[in-house]
Amino acid sequence: MKTLKFIGTLILVSILSTSCTNEDLINQPPVSSETNLQTSKKTKDLQKTNNAGPIILGYFPSWQESWTSGNNGSKLRDIPKHVTHVFLAFAKPNLTYQKGSYDISKTGIQTPYGGTLLKKSVAILKAKGIKVLLSIGGETYWGTNDAYNINYQQIKDLIDDMGFEGIDWDFEPNGSFAQIGSPENIQHFIDFFNNSRAIMPKGEYLLTCAPSGVGALGGLNNNDSNSPFAYSKRNTLTGESDANLYNATTPNNGISLFGFSSTGHMIPVIKAVGDKIDFIAYQGYNVGAPTNRKIMYDSYRHYADQYGFSIVAGTHFPEEPWGPYYTFSYDRIADLSNHIKSSENSNDGVMIWQLLLKKASSSSYGYLHVASQVLNGISTSIAIANAENYPLSPHTGDSSGNENTGNTTGCDNAPTWSSTAVYTGGQQALYNGALYEAKWWTQNNNPSTSTGTGNPWKFIKNCTNDGSETGANEAPSAFLTSPTVNSNFNENENITLTANASDADGTISIVEFYSGNTKLGEDATSPYEFVWQNVSAGSYNLYVKARDNQGSVTTSSSVNIKVSSTITSGGDTDCSNASEWKAYPSIYNTGDIVKYKNKLYEAQTGPIWVTPGLGEHWWKTIGICN
């Protein structure tokens, strides 16, 4: 997360600067980026970050959490209330998680306790009004090809079980931003949002990312000529020549921000999936010596005005790992916050890496307190004077997240539901003779009318008038037994899907087999199986649903498989009507047919501009041209 490997870029300085330093110095005064910032009404209408005010965000490193028991505080649980959002760092992209198990040992999360206590920690923060999102990837977890074998359903299951608000896609290929602007990595970024949003609807889950701070400025590799921050406008925007375009270690007014290999990498991503993003928390640090850091916020805001997401400006508690060539201070945090406030986008805010950093007289919490005050209308001088005088809010309540209240369960002990009480994930309540359990934070949501997908309550069982159990229906169990995770098949092969399903207090009525959102078939008798015939090449997410005789349905964990194309060497495919594939800015969509290097390909997703041949899940190989 913290350290960007700019070695390759710096090596290019001696090679490229000879051709980039011959331009005459622009004699115009610098054009303030504020001049180019046009806040549209459309942005304010479209913003849906599920947040009522500025975002004050910090990364929390799970490996620095302190041990806690159910009733005690911890570093995570004691986060002060002026922080509105937390990115819990980090989970593996290819994590393994079984829904309902609370076993986080294979997720990459490194808290010193397990999933049950983590769920309670998240509920405690939620009770304070702090939203916790799971940060996926970071600097560590993108180093292998297997990292991209992502089971999105298992990620969603983990999000649901722990009570997280959503995901931060912290994508740093091979541990840095050096190659993030390549067509393949841009396509990966697009896929993350397309696949996760497909099962995590907007309004129910937050989907965010933490890209490079220079990602929305125009660069040599990725550019938007229509943007006020296009590569061709770099000299006018900064008032500088290209003398330091590739020299980020010399103080400049921002010209070097246009010279990184990562510059512009988010432009094609935003154009493809901007409507699926809730907010972008860009990393506005580790970019060297340029002092004009506001231009990074303004360049992202240009696209936020079009697509309706919010912007969170990333900062770093001193010192930045690269250099340091720039030091964030109270004054600089306040200045950046005032600039953000002047944009009149009430949901924008400030992020810091990371919450637990501090010195003798300053802290990350103090930095964010300055930002919070300024963004909420407090003067700069007062905000800085009170930087470290933020209210503490240590956890003193029970394990459920309620302060100084009990949490009883079961028909005999659960309290009667109250419209004024606050309930958090795992708490139970009685209503009209039935027992319900809260799935997440809720208040004034009647349990009898607030169950099911997207609602905060789960029906547990019916109870008699004296509170005892009536022997209500128990949900069935369901498991996909074949194929297994990461199985490989050849295209046009028949694949047999088998499942185990049982019901402790009844019988199984039907087992349905699914690929993604598509129902493949069903079986009403054991052994439960379905033969999927002539399967096309591609990657598939398989699972089953089991329904019992009383109507309860259980969805199994999903299994990813890959079906590979089998191409003959004869060259018997007619490619005469296909056009040659063209690189970005050409964009393709599902079903488009192209010819590339004497092979015919069909797009399996869209929008897409990754090169054919890099993966059958992007471009399916139809055949060799005759």
Helical ranges in 61-114 per DSSP H: none
Contact 485, 541 (CB under 8 A): no
Block residue for tokens 């789960």? 458
Domains in the chain, please, with CATH? Answer: 37-222+262-385 (3.20.20.80), 408-472 (2.10.10.20), 477-523+541-559 (no CATH), 579-624 (2.10.10)
Q: What pLDDT, on the 0 to 100 scale, is given for residue 31?
A: 36
Q: Provide the 10 A C-beta neighbour count for residue 425.
A: 24
Q: pLDDT tens, 143-191?
A: 998 999 999 999 999 999 999 999 999 999 988 999 999 999 999 999 9
Contacts of 318 (CB under 8 A, 6+ apart): 324, 327, 328, 329, 359
pLDDT value for 464: 54
What per-residue confidence (pLDDT) applies to 9? Answer: 40
- Ordered alpha helix ranges (H), 343-379: 364-375
Residues 451-479 as b/e (b if ≥16 CB within 10 A, e otherwise) read beeeebbbbbbebeeeeeeeebbeebebb
pLDDT for 502 equals 85
Residue 266 parent element (H or E):
helix 266-273
Per-residue pLDDT reduced to its tens digit, 416-463: 888 888 787 788 888 877 888 888 788 888 888 888 777 888 888 887
Question: Which ranges of the chain have pLDDT less than 70?
Answer: 1-52, 70, 398-408, 412, 464-473, 505, 566-571
Rounded to 5, what percent of the chain is helix, strand, coil?
Answer: 25, 25, 50
**pTM exceeds cut of 0.95:** no
